Structure 1
Amino acid sequence: MKKLLVTGSSGLIGSEVCIYFASQGWAIHGIDNNQRAVFFGSQGDTRWNQQRLQSSIKNFTHHELDIRDRQGILELFESLRPDAIVHTAAQPSHDRAAAIPYDDFDTNAVGTLNLLEATRRFVPDIPFVHLSTNKVYGDAPNEISMNETETRWCYSDPTYEQGIPETFRIDQSKHSLFGASKVAADIMVQEYGRYFGLKTCCLRGGCLTGPNHSGVELHGFLSYLVKSNLEGRTYKIFGYKGKQVRDNIHSYDVARFIEEFIANPRSGEVYNLGGGKDNTCSILEAFAMVESLTNKKMQYEYLALNREGDHICYYSDLRKIKDHYPNWSITKPLDTIFAEIVTGWSSRLQYAKA
């Protein structure tokens, strides 16, 4: 039985990958030490997801390990010898990074290096999939000319009608410390592919989401927005009139692409992986969609100061990823994503009250 090693296995994408590949007959090994609870407090705790995996996947092994533990990572790789690696573990918030710069860089950049070097030493022929981020582009997308409508910002430059391509520059822009640490990891993953020939790819995600996301104010746009609506809490809009646009991709479609890459890997590759133009929404549009599902009015306040390095409008150009992997496409449209997140949070909140 093939062995898949997933870092950040209790997180949104990590857990989705575990469930998906287990259904395809893989033995799953998950690395997670619940750092989200350290980064974000009890609201970011993912132990519930770890327990879900342990109870629902027959061939699942949990490894309570920090990816910053270099010796621990080397020893695990030497003994386990996995057949593929999906690296999703990270400090995921560009706001939080400014308060914990050492933890952010050590987790995102150094932790990724630890995994790459362990791969090179013990299993150099296996696919290595890294969950990067669109924040590697910094705020450079904000330089694109845009039009303002009643509910959103839109690109007016026809060059970017289909979204941001992988050729877009990643330097000479403001990234946030989180973005900078992810750039370091992104480039290192590429380099281990190009220099050493490892089968690596960076997936520069848009808004990765789904019903099992433990969204918090500093990370997890749609998940936290839905939770705020259901709980009647005030959601804070940070700048851009609430018209900032994101493309949203369901964790299931992320897992499906990872399967495609592992089946036909390349070396040192980069893909923008988001919902694309069809799965975009602004904050104001997201309010309307969630209100239509819950029949609860969104409570919010507007703060004129935008988040440092934040995008006014961002969505992924999916043409390269579809050209390289034509069997892959988006299967979860935006209305389905919203419905699943509402159902997921409703169940979890009801369970918490019981």
Structure 2
Amino acid sequence: MKKMLVTGSGGLIGSEVVSFFADRGWQVHGVDNNMRQDFFGVGGDTTWNIERLKNTFLNYEHSSIDIRNRLGVFSLINRVQPDAIIHTAAQPSHDLAASRPFDDFDVNAVGTLNLLEALRQYSTTIPFVHMSTNKVYGDAPNHLGLVEKETRWDYVDAEYYNGIPESFTIDQSKHSIFGASKVAADVMVQEYGRYFDMPTCCLRGGCLTGPNHSGVELHGFLSYLIKCNLQEKEYTIFGYKGKQVRDNIHSYDVVRFIEEFLKHPRNGEVYNLGGGRSNSVSILEAFDLISEISGKPMKYKYSDQNRSGDHICYISDLNKMKSHYPNWEITKDLKTTFQEIYNSWVLRTSF
């Protein structure tokens, strides 16, 4: 039986990875110390998800090790002896990083290095998949020519119609403290792939979403927006007239790509991972779609102050992913994704 180590196993992508590969017969060992509750309070608590995994899968084991604990990480990898590591654990918030920069860097950058070096000392042939972020590009995408349309911003230049490619600059831009720590981790994952000839990849996610997301205002845009609509709470739009655009990818499609990478791993690769243009949506458009599903109007207020380093329009160019892994494609469209998230919040808030 193949063995997999999944960090951040109580989170959105981590729990989807656990479910997907446990269903396919892998022995899965999850690592999650519920740091999300420390970061975001009760609303970010992932205990419910961790318990769900424990109760659902007999082939799932759990550890509450903090990935900042270097000796603990080394010991765990030597004990589990994984055939693959999927690293989804992170401090994910721009705003929180500014107030807790040491925690942010130690989790995102140092924690990633701890895992990489522990794996290298165990084996240089084991695939390592890192959930990076499109925030490694900083605010450089905002310097592209943009046109304001009725409900969204869009690219002027036809070269970017399909979105931002992996060759786009990550230099000379404002990243936020969070973005900078993720750049450090991203580059280190690439370097272990190239320097030590290890099968590694960075998945620079756009808006990763799905029904198992514990969305809060500081992280988890779509999940939190849908939760606000369901509970008839006021949502705050931060700048750009609510026309800022994100491409959303369902966590299932993220994990499907991970499966394809594990079948044919490559060294030190980078992929922009999002829903592409077909799954892109602005905040205003998201309001309309969830109101259509729930039958409830969206309550919101507007703040002129945009979040520092935030993207005005970001769409992931998926051409490189599809050329390297032609068996992969988006299977969950935007409306399906919204409906699943809505159904999940209904279930969770009914108890």
Pairwise same-fold verdict (TM > 0.5): yes
Corresponding residue for 2:203?
203
Corresponding residue for 2:12?
12
Q: Distance in 1 between matches of 2:240 and 2:336?
A: 27
Corresponding residue for 1:49?
49
After the TM superposition, which residues 81-100 of structure 1 pair with which residues of structure 2 at under 5 Å, given as runs?
81-100=81-100
Q: Distance in 1 between matches of 2:78 and 2:305?
A: 49
SS at match of 2:349: helix
Q: Decide whether the 8 Å contact of 2:27 with 2:60 is kept in 1.
A: yes
Q: Decide whether the 8 Å contact of 1:235 with 1:301 is kept in 2.
A: yes
Q: Decide whether the 8 Å contact of 2:271 with 2:320 is kept in 1.
A: yes
**Deviations 1:122-178 (CA, angstroms, capped at 9, x unpaired):** 022110000000000000000110111110001011110110000000010000000
SS at match of 1:77: helix
Corresponding residue for 2:146?
146
Q: Decide whether the 8 Å contact of 2:29 with 2:80 is kept in 1.
A: no
Corresponding residue for 1:58?
58
Q: Distance in 1 between matches of 2:156 and 2:177?
A: 29
Corresponding residue for 1:75?
75
Q: Distance in 2 between matches of 1:58 and 1:208?
A: 27
Corresponding residue for 1:191?
191
What letter corresponds to residue 214 of structure 2 in structure 1? S
Corresponding residue for 1:316?
316
Q: Distance in 2 between matches of 1:28 and 1:130?
A: 17
Structure 1 runs of 4+ with >3 Å offset: none
Q: Distance in 2 between matches of 1:79 and 1:8?
A: 18
What letter corresponds to residue 297 of structure 2 in structure 1? K
Q: Structure 1 residue 214 and structure 2 residue 217: aligned? A: no
Unaligned runs of 5+ in 2: none
What letter corresponds to residue 143 of structure 1 in structure 2? H
Q: Distance in 2 between matches of 1:75 and 1:51?
A: 24
**Deviations 1:2-38 (CA, angstroms, capped at 9, x unpaired):** 0010000000000000000011110110000000000
Q: Distance in 1 between matches of 2:91 and 2:123?
A: 26
SS at match of 2:341: helix
% identity of equivalent residues: 66
Q: Distance in 2 between matches of 1:249 and 1:201?
A: 18
SS at match of 1:98: helix
Root-mean-square deviation over aligned CA pairs: 0.5
Q: Decide whether the 8 Å contact of 1:189 with 1:201 is kept in 2.
A: yes
Q: Structure 1 residue 130 and structure 2 residue 130: aligned? A: yes
Q: Distance in 1 between matches of 2:16 and 2:79?
A: 25
Q: Decide whether the 8 Å contact of 2:175 with 2:309 is kept in 1.
A: yes
What letter corresponds to residue 197 of structure 1 in structure 2? D
**Deviations 1:75-105 (CA, angstroms, capped at 9, x unpaired):** 1111211000000000001111001000000
Q: Distance in 2 between matches of 1:192 and 1:216?
A: 33
Q: Distance in 2 between matches of 1:346 and 1:151?
A: 28
Q: Decide whether the 8 Å contact of 1:145 with 1:156 is kept in 2.
A: yes
SS at match of 2:261: helix
Corresponding residue for 1:293?
293
Unaligned runs of 5+ in 1: none
After the TM superposition, which residues 197-346 of structure 1 pair with which residues of structure 2 at under 5 Å, given as runs?
197-346=197-346
What letter corresponds to residue 266 of structure 1 in structure 2? R
Q: Distance in 2 between matches of 1:22 and 1:62?
A: 13
Q: How many aligned residue pairs are there? A: 351
Q: Decide whether the 8 Å contact of 1:81 with 1:123 is kept in 2.
A: no
TM-score with structure 1 setting the length: 0.99
Q: Distance in 1 between matches of 2:80 and 2:19?
A: 20
Q: Distance in 2 between matches of 1:24 and 1:261?
A: 16
Q: Distance in 2 between matches of 1:188 and 1:17?
A: 23
**Deviations 1:33-80 (CA, angstroms, capped at 9, x unpaired):** 000000000100000000000011110000110000000000111121
Q: Distance in 1 between matches of 2:262 and 2:44?
A: 30
Q: Decide whether the 8 Å contact of 2:199 with 2:266 is kept in 1.
A: yes
Q: Distance in 1 between matches of 2:80 and 2:240?
A: 48
Q: Distance in 1 between matches of 2:263 and 2:164?
A: 26
Q: Decide whether the 8 Å contact of 2:164 with 2:315 is kept in 1.
A: yes
After the TM superposition, which residues 23-38 of structure 1 pair with which residues of structure 2 at under 5 Å, given as runs?
23-38=23-38
What letter corresponds to residue 181 of structure 2 in structure 1? S
Q: Distance in 1 between matches of 2:289 and 2:79?
A: 48
Q: Distance in 1 between matches of 2:120 and 2:296?
A: 52
What letter corresponds to residue 218 of structure 1 in structure 2? L
SS at match of 1:291: helix
Q: Decide whether the 8 Å contact of 2:151 with 2:243 is kept in 1.
A: yes
What letter corresponds to residue 32 of structure 2 in structure 1? D
